[in-house]
Amino acid sequence: ELKVEQNPLFLSMQEGKNYTIYCNYSTTSDRLYWYRQDPGKSLESLFVLLSNGAVKQEGRLMASLDTKARLSTLHITAAVHDLSATYFCAVEGTSGSRLTFGEGTQLTVNP
């Protein structure tokens, strides 16, 4: 059974600081997804990582995937308040199968 673990689960940081969220998963997969969820809202797609060594960046967020280590990271650079949200990683088992989600990281960026 595929298990996905995120850490930290809660992250409070100051504006302007950098931090990394980690996502570990238990079985082989080449596809990993990062989502953002605002309170009361559904999931917003941030990144799709499709191969080992994939790196994608959008604004202050950068995601990477190491399939050998079964690890993905979401790096936040110079955080701003607007980044406050819950971030989920999700791993695809086989192509087209369900996603297995991590527990989510609740990020709060303080002025």
Q: Answer whether the bond into residue 8 is a cis peptide, omega within 30°.
A: yes
| In the complex, minimum distance from the CB of residue 81 to other proteins, in angstroms, rounded to a whole number | 21
Taking the C-alpha atoms of residue 80 and residue 93, their distance in angstroms, rounded to an integer, is: 33
Residue numbers 1-20 binding other proteins by CB under 8 A: none
Among 35, 8, 10, 54, residue whose Cα is nearest residue 101 = 35
**Which one of residues 22, 77, 103, 108 is an interface residue with other proteins (CB under 8 A)?**
103
| In the complex, minimum distance from the CB of residue 40 to other proteins, in angstroms, rounded to a whole number | 7
Residue 48 in contact with other proteins, rule: CB under 8 A: yes
| Site size for other proteins (CB under 8 A) | 19
Sheet strands (E) in the chain: 4-7, 10-14, 19-25, 32-37, 43-49, 55-58, 61-66, 71-76, 85-92, 99-101, 105-110
| In the complex, minimum distance from the CB of residue 87 to other proteins, in angstroms, rounded to a whole number | 11
Residue numbers 23-42 binding other proteins by CB under 8 A: 33, 35, 40-42
Taking the C-alpha atoms of residue 44 and residue 2, their distance in angstroms, rounded to an integer, is: 23
Residue numbers 52-91 binding other proteins by CB under 8 A: 88, 90
Residues of this chain that interact with other proteins (CB under 8 A) are: 33, 35, 40-43, 45, 48, 88, 90, 92, 96, 98-99, 101-104, 106
